[in-house]
Structure 1
Amino acid sequence: MTKSQNYLKGAAVLGVAGIIVKILGAVYRIPLSNIIKDEGIGYYQTAYPIYVLLLTLSTAGIPVAIAKLVSEKRALGDYRNAHKVFKVSLVGLVVLGILTSLTVAVGAEMIVESIGNPNAYYALLALAPALLFVPIMAAFRGFFQGSQTMFPTALSQVLEQLFRVATGLGLTVLLLDKGLPIAAGGASFGGSMGAIIGAVTIIIIYLKRRSSIKDEIATTIISKEYPVKSIIKDLLLIAVPITIGSAIAPIMNTVDAALVFRRLQDIGYTSKTANDLYGQLTGMAQTLVNLPQVFSIAISMSLVPAISTASARKARDELGSLISSGIRMTLLIGLPAALGMFVLAKPIIALLYFNNEPSVIASTGDILTYLSLGVIFLTLVQALTAIIQGLGKPIIPVRNLFFGALAKITLTYILTGIPAINVKGAAISTVTAYAVAATLDFYYVIKTANAGIDLKKILLKPLMSSLGMAAVVKLGYMAMSSIMPDKLATVGAVGLGVVVYGVLLIVTGTITREDLAMFSKGGRIADKLGRFLKSEKQ
């Protein structure tokens, strides 16, 4: 197998694992929200951004740094120092894991009280073990990825998420009669159990391969000593910029949590009501907004190497084609998802979160109406970030997202403090944050890539198809809900939307013969559709 074939196989393995993990994570929130409802989700969601932030600070860029240094040493045949990089990293990550885990174990009560949601104590405390085991897992994942062996990472990711979902839901049900704060703690402990299982899995794989790793190390012929100080320095040079970029979103979410609670209480809401509204925002509506990312992330993963290659070869036409294709395919997902959720916000919430009170469903539907438009900009940010990274400018998306974060914090403070807007102000600020970042990213790509982009093709045609679909879906739902139950009407309207959108993509020429030819068996589909499909040359 050639190196390129090995790379593509590894990318495919990680890609499939990533999609499975994302789907499990998104689906997990729906039954969880029906069990502990908006109040319990509020406690859970208060703890989660803090956990993600601490995890990001301790591990975000280190697996990438380990993989890079390990792969560089292995390319030189220096297997001894490649393994030394792993060992030094493992020790460092264990220390970081112990420190962050102890910080949460000892300071959980103080942290949640400072945010203004003391009942989130158990939800945060239950995540302390995960802060130890995830960094350990990160070290092994970095080593295997640097060795171009992706299966251990993929398997540990899938098992981690499976046990997180099973344990979290199981404990939530068992602890429900102990009260919602403790039940939310049970849901959080799913994350810790998943981390433990993931870490144990990848350690077992490493131990089983240890003899072959030792044999490989023994083949090292020339091995100049790689000092520990140099390893740490090189790791930090790679990891710190990545960590800074990765930390912006969790920092934004953590600050947002504190602001939302404080501002809602400033305008007269009780701590419990503020928590309920926050649960509706982040645990229920936000979950649905995150679903389309499963597909946009897959697109982004494939864009980086393709853009990098075209940029390195200075192939301007190819670069322009890749950029246009990446943006267009992202909008083909983001636009219909956003507009579909916009016109069916309340029916979708009623369908998925059926076990909640009508007032909660109505409130969450209002939130989703505002938040749904963020899907367009969130998916665009992912694609444009991948494009800019492929152009060799990874700090630009970080800077642009930082400006978006500043806009979000400012608007959250102002809008959430207006009684008539309340928690919907946080939803509006989230949409604005990603709109700012997407706009700045798009401007940079247009200005820097110097590649002709056809706005009619990548934006106007997908927008026309999506608007047409949204109008038909809204009218279809209104007609069906008058003759059948609302839930059945919602399912019917969604199905109608899928069919109508597909037809409109063909009628408007948004999808062409060339597009279908890119997919497996796409040529056969194009032949069957025959005269209905247009060609890019037409």
Structure 2
Amino acid sequence: MSEESKANQPKTTHVNSEAEAHQKMVRGSAWMTAGSLFSRVLGAIYIIPWVIWMGADYTQGNALYAKGYNIYSFFLLIAIGGIPSAISKQLSEYNAMNEYAVGQRLFKRGLLLTSAFGIVGAIILWFGAGAISTAFGGYDANLIPVLHALAIALVILPSMSLTRGFFQGYQQMAPSAISQFVEQVFRVIYMLGATYFIMRVAHGDWVDAVTQSTFAAFVGAAASFLLLGWYYFRKRPELNALAAQSENQLVIPVWQLFRDIIIQAIPFIVIDTATTVFNLLDQATFQPMMRLIFHLGTKQIDTLYAYFAFNANKLVMIIVSLASAIAVTVVPILSESLASHNMRNIRKQLEDSIILFLFIMIPGALGMAAVAQPLNTLFYSYDQIGTLILQISAFTAIALGFFTVISALMQGLSRNRDIIRYYLIGLLVKIIIQFPCIYFLSTAGPLVATAIGMMVASLMAMYDLEVNFGIRYVKLLPKINRILVYSILTYATARLVVYGLNFILNEHSKTQSFLIVALAVIAGGAVYVYLALRSRMADLMIGTKAAGLRRKLRIK
């Protein structure tokens, strides 16, 4: 081999490594995006019949559902303890060192931990329901049975989530994505069946309907866990073969495995609960602040709370789930690069992650803002306040999604203490500006305060990545500018379609609102896809498939 060939070899290896890592990220993101998107869409679509069957009590039902789920989400994340994300990260590191056997032992010990955490969390939530209700917004007798129903789901959800983390550690995203969708299908089937029977057949109480709707979380989790178990036993021969050819240089005692899991999990607990803590802060402060500032009654405040905490949140979480999908995918890939000390790969993966997020999130958020009025009518009812809150939520969702991704990047690179510090600073900002935001912006105040707090934390994390890993944001500006221009054109197209069709169709009708949403989404989406393909921007996201799409669509 010539000297010239030898000199070129490492560079080729670097390029191949980068290309492989990029493909892994895109492929993994595609699976997780599909799973998250389908499950979130299904989780939003059920609202249409649910609202109809709940009748006049649907707004109160939405508020009660949101209150219960905020508390449950916090307990769930504490019970899971960040263990799935931590184990996904550790597995990637051990697998990169060819220590598959250690990673599999880690998973089995993790199952014991999550089972224990789930049982303890369920007991606390069940027996402490009254005190917990009082702590978050004042005692509410209707909230007690809802928390009892959700406590049952806590028993199995941590172990189910851990199993998803196990597959993600092997960068096998399909089991996680499919199980998410299955979980949502069974949850929605039970929820709608129970609600229809209670409200339409038995003519029962709306609180019972909400209670059974929340118990559906257990039904969905059980179905998902069974599917993941089937995947695991199907892949056991492959897993055993990997364990058999391990280096076996690492000998780690059981107590140390437990300690490592908990130490790795603590940062994930703090960051994974970030959104839930912000929501709980809104739940605890919105009612007293609104009563103090505007002198409203409890029912009026609950209705306004439902606008942003349930109605808008259910819809914007569809697009935020796209950010979550990218976050879940990138953690094990970054951990693998960090374990091999490949700084060039790390920098490329960081830049790809940010661009991939913006490429999906910005047009998604602006598109939802453009169709907010017919979308709100379709899922709930024609309501100008509801439409305004949904529009604001769509824009603020960009900050929420960006924090999700940037915190995942920091955790994947073991910058755990730093991202926790930045998050706590962001939370402090939220606490400080919560009252002024509610005073000046009323119902939109909590959303704006959350967005500002999240952006403060995200900007600090971005600076950290620039200083420590050499990420070059200036290099990303041309791509970001293109995404912004294309997204604004997408927004304008969809908004014009909505505006024009409102003259022809009845904007108060759910059926005709569906037609308006569908046509506006098709028109706006077509503009964005065309611009992304023609400018070759889509090539960065889907690789060689973009060229095939251009040929089929005859785009030069």
Q: Give the TM interval when normalised to the shorter protein.
A: 0.7 to 0.9
Give 2:285's aligned amino acid: L
Is residue 89–residue 331 contact of structure 2 (8 Å, CA) maintained in 1? no
Query: Which residue of the partner structure matches residue 25 of structure 1?
Result: 43
* Mapped pair 1:255 → 2:281: yes
Q: CA offsets, 1:73-95, max 9 Å, x none?
A: 8877785x766645544333333
Secondary structure, counterpart of 2:295 in structure 1: coil
Q: CA 1:492–1:150 in structure 2 vs 1: closer, same or farther (change >3 Å)?
A: closer
Query: Which residue of the partner structure matches residue 546 of structure 2?
Result: 522
Query: Which residue of the partner structure matches residue 303 of structure 2?
Result: 276
* Mapped pair 1:113 → 2:134: yes
More off after superposition, 207-216 vs 274-283: 207-216
Distance 2:28 2:527 in 1: 37
Is residue 307–residue 319 contact of structure 1 (8 Å, CA) maintained in 2? yes
Q: Give the % identical residues.
A: 26
How far 1:320 sits from its partner (Å)? 5.9
* Mapped pair 1:401 → 2:423: yes
Query: Which residue of the partner structure matches residue 265 of structure 1?
Result: 291
Query: Which residue of the partner structure matches residue 42 of structure 1?
Result: 63
Is residue 32–residue 329 contact of structure 2 (8 Å, CA) maintained in 1? no
Q: CA offsets, 1:276-323, max 9 Å, x none?
A: 2222212111122222234333444454566667773333xx766654
Distance 1:413 1:322 in 2: 39
Distance 1:138 1:167 in 2: 21
Q: CA 1:136–1:271 in structure 2 vs 1: closer, same or farther (change >3 Å)?
A: same
Q: CA 1:513–1:460 in structure 2 vs 1: closer, same or farther (change >3 Å)?
A: closer
How far 1:33 sits from its partner (Å)? 4.3
Query: Which residue of the partner structure matches residue 149 of structure 2?
Result: 126
More off after superposition, 402-411 vs 388-397: 388-397
Give 1:338's aligned amino acid: A
Query: Which residue of the partner structure matches residue 53 of structure 1?
Result: 74
Is residue 406–residue 461 contact of structure 2 (8 Å, CA) maintained in 1? yes
Distance 2:248 2:523 in 1: 65
Query: Which residue of the partner structure matches residue 84 of structure 2?
Result: 63
Is residue 175–residue 186 contact of structure 1 (8 Å, CA) maintained in 2? no
Secondary structure, counterpart of 1:269 in structure 2: coil
How far 1:397 sits from its partner (Å)? 3.5
Distance 2:84 2:427 in 1: 26
Secondary structure, counterpart of 1:292 in structure 2: helix
Secondary structure, counterpart of 1:291 in structure 2: helix
Q: CA 1:92–1:443 in structure 2 vs 1: closer, same or farther (change >3 Å)?
A: closer
Q: CA offsets, 1:41-82, max 9 Å, x none?
A: 100000111111111112132234455667788877785x76
Match of 1:291 among 313, 318, 341: 318
Give 1:462's aligned amino acid: I
Is residue 42–residue 283 contact of structure 1 (8 Å, CA) maintained in 2? yes
* Mapped pair 1:422 → 2:442: yes
Residues 47-446 of structure 1 correspond to what in structure 2 (within 5 A)? Answer: 47-66=68-87, 79=101, 85-86=106-107, 88-114=109-135, 115-116=137-138, 117-138=140-161, 140-141=163-164, 156-176=179-199, 177-202=203-228, 227-266=253-292, 267-304=294-331, 312-315=341-344, 322-354=349-381, 358=382, 361-416=383-438, 418=439, 421-446=441-466
Q: CA 1:401–1:47 in structure 2 vs 1: closer, same or farther (change >3 Å)?
A: same
Q: CA 1:285–1:72 in structure 2 vs 1: closer, same or farther (change >3 Å)?
A: closer
Q: CA 1:289–1:76 in structure 2 vs 1: closer, same or farther (change >3 Å)?
A: closer
How far 1:258 sits from its partner (Å)? 1.1
Secondary structure, counterpart of 2:441 in structure 1: coil
Distance 1:130 1:108 in 2: 15
Q: Where do 5+ consecutive residues of structure 1 fail to align? A: 534-538
Is residue 307–residue 390 contact of structure 1 (8 Å, CA) maintained in 2? yes
Q: CA 1:121–1:228 in structure 2 vs 1: closer, same or farther (change >3 Å)?
A: same
Is residue 119–residue 155 contact of structure 2 (8 Å, CA) maintained in 1? yes
Give 1:24's aligned amino acid: L
How far 1:185 sits from its partner (Å)? 0.8
Q: CA offsets, 1:176-232, max 9 Å, x none?
A: 332222211111011122223334554566678899999999999989985443332
Provide TM-score, normalisation by structure 1: 0.81
Q: CA 1:245–1:477 in structure 2 vs 1: closer, same or farther (change >3 Å)?
A: closer
How far 1:101 sits from its partner (Å)? 1.0
Distance 1:178 1:171 in 2: 11
Q: Where do 5+ consecutive residues of structure 2 fail to align? A: 1-16, 508-512
Q: CA offsets, 1:107-129, max 9 Å, x none?
A: 21232233224422222221011
Match of 2:494 among 470, 473, 496: 473
Secondary structure, counterpart of 1:159 in structure 2: helix
Is residue 319–residue 451 contact of structure 1 (8 Å, CA) maintained in 2? no
Query: Which residue of the partner structure matches residue 536 of structure 1?
Result: none
Is residue 325–residue 458 contact of structure 1 (8 Å, CA) maintained in 2? no
Distance 2:173 2:520 in 1: 41
More off after superposition, 164-173 vs 406-415: 406-415
Q: Aligned-pair RMSD on alpha carbons?
A: 4.0
Q: CA offsets, 1:423-477, max 9 Å, x none?
A: 2211222222333233333333444425252464133332223333333433443
Distance 2:480 2:444 in 1: 28
Q: CA 1:516–1:383 in structure 2 vs 1: closer, same or farther (change >3 Å)?
A: same
Distance 1:401 1:491 in 2: 38
Distance 2:484 2:287 in 1: 36
Q: CA 1:429–1:12 in structure 2 vs 1: closer, same or farther (change >3 Å)?
A: closer
How far 1:130 sits from its partner (Å)? 0.7
Secondary structure, counterpart of 2:504 in structure 1: coil
How far 1:40 sits from its partner (Å)? 0.4
Secondary structure, counterpart of 1:485 in structure 2: coil
Is residue 369–residue 395 contact of structure 2 (8 Å, CA) maintained in 1? yes
Counting matched residue pairs gives 517
Is residue 396–residue 451 contact of structure 2 (8 Å, CA) maintained in 1? yes
Provide TM-score, normalisation by structure 2: 0.78
Q: CA 1:109–1:455 in structure 2 vs 1: closer, same or farther (change >3 Å)?
A: same
